[in-house]
Structure 1
């Protein structure tokens, strides 16, 4: 019995495994999305390699679209709705493996068949966790080891990419809030995200409401190498609240009514130089104007 796992409660053990599976899925979705966008374009889910060979088979596309339709806040992009079974299909399909994943997975894995076997061992453990069934210490150890193996491969790949970048610094990759909004920060919407857009995430606060959001950064960088700071302002530079960390939380009052709060989140590394002069990445979020409280009596 693993002494580390034996010291954990059943809930802690399950949370530990859940966390690792989530981390693995986050890494592999990012990898697949980036590689496919480069090769097949932003609409790669509908790409045809040849007349009789789609990049993504029809039944998979339909299932993914249904998952998005059923839970749009959880799956803001198609790639977010893929399962480990889909990951195995992408990573281990002969043509895709040779074109995209062989040089990344080898020599950490002997080949696509070993990668397939490892993924096949993760799936039943994932299923037990998803359905609330108990897992053994051995299954927990398998889950942690196998997902860590893949994460190490992905980190090595991104580390090697970083060495060839002009600016090898962390960036913001995702924003989630207490209303279920989930925004991917990429090259098309980075730096400024306006939550006032008609088609954007709707954030309408009233005086007395609290608002909370979380930012995610590139996981290939250690958290100790940078700091995230933030500030919430209204009517110019009047400050509602400011702080540090990846969790932003504040409340609005009567004096904020009719104004549109602006949230500015800044990432600054410990380096002596910075990508943008004094900082390395930033996101600006502008909310809807604050409405008055709903009065019970007049």
Structure 2
């Protein structure tokens, strides 16, 4: 596609979103691999061949932002950006032991190949996240789109293979967010989360969104939303759901559930659905 023929704002937004998606997938593979080996505290506890996998800078960054905003950074890895993620993948022992099988199809030259690609992406990502984004050349933007897509493609292939080997090969939610700042990466197909970092208020207009494991096609499943404990309940379909809070939503535990059901299987992981998230919020009776 000839990027110079497109609106510059659209191109910059597309590149920014593609790079953010790339970061999301890198966080996912690092979290999945290292938490399985070292447990939930892998950022501080992951040591291989006598050396910590994460630098002290990365550890400090994760701790600082996780403590400052635990709702946004439900996992410490979510506070790390491309440079920290790339530094982990660029280490020989961690790459060979944990990440090679996820990248070798698209990056046959190993960690040096990955390191070179991420080194190119870091300044472009940083520029697009700040005021100097419009100064990026068309060549840089093309590289951002292509290189980040190569990383995501490699990881999608890996997770698609893994899904076929699962007991119940069905998609799951990999991210939940709302426009109030909540950002959650579900650890399991059946996941409950209490949003206690802030309260909602009557008249708030909330947009909830989910992202699904993209190794599965959207044509293979349907997503449904429903407000719990209220009759008649508001409901919706698709990856997003908008709701304006009214007095009937007030309470200590306003519940929202989003479920995913495959459309091409005769079975489902939880009998009726294949994945679901339940969120609880406190809704106060006074407007902001």
Q: TM-score, normalised by structure 1?
A: 0.85
Q: Which consecutive residues of structure 2, in runs of 5 or more, have no partner in the other structure? A: none
Equivalent position of 1:205 in the other structure: 201
In structure 2, relative to structure 1, the CA distance for the partners of 1:107 and 1:275 (3 Å cut) is closer
| 1:109-148 mapped onto 2 (5 Å cutoff) | 109=107, 110-133=109-132, 134-148=135-149
Equivalent position of 1:64 in the other structure: 62
| 1:25-40 mapped onto 2 (5 Å cutoff) | 25-40=23-38
Aligned residues: 284
Rg bigger for which structure?
1
1:232 aligns with 2:231: no
Q: Deviation per CA, 1:247-281, whole angstroms, max 9, x where unpaired?
A: 12223334555585432211111123222222211
Distance in 2 separating the partners of 1:258 and 1:32: 38
Distance in 1 separating the partners of 2:98 and 2:208: 35
Contact 1:25 1:84 in 2 (8 A): yes
Equivalent position of 1:154 in the other structure: 155
RMSD: 2.5
In structure 2, relative to structure 1, the CA distance for the partners of 1:40 and 1:141 (3 Å cut) is same
Equivalent position of 2:166 in the other structure: 165
Equivalent position of 1:247 in the other structure: 240
| 1:4-15 mapped onto 2 (5 Å cutoff) | 5-15=3-13
Distance in 1 separating the partners of 2:180 and 2:113: 41
1:185 aligns with 2:181: no
SS of residue matched to 1:287: strand
Distance in 2 separating the partners of 1:124 and 1:278: 46
1:19 aligns with 2:13: no
Q: Deviation per CA, 1:112-159, whole angstroms, max 9, x where unpaired?
A: 212211111111211221222221111111111101111111011101
Distance in 1 separating the partners of 2:16 and 2:200: 33
In structure 2, relative to structure 1, the CA distance for the partners of 1:136 and 1:225 (3 Å cut) is same
Give the C-alpha shift of residue 10 in structure 1.
1.3
SS of residue matched to 1:286: strand
Q: Deviation per CA, 1:16-50, whole angstroms, max 9, x where unpaired?
A: 11011011101010000010011111111121537
Contact 2:101 2:158 in 1 (8 A): no
In structure 2, relative to structure 1, the CA distance for the partners of 1:277 and 1:138 (3 Å cut) is same
Distance in 1 separating the partners of 2:205 and 2:13: 28
Equivalent position of 1:268 in the other structure: 261
Q: TM-score, normalised by structure 2?
A: 0.88
In structure 2, relative to structure 1, the CA distance for the partners of 1:232 and 1:74 (3 Å cut) is closer
SS of residue matched to 2:232: strand
Contact 1:234 1:259 in 2 (8 A): no
Give the C-alpha shift of residue 70 in structure 1.
4.9
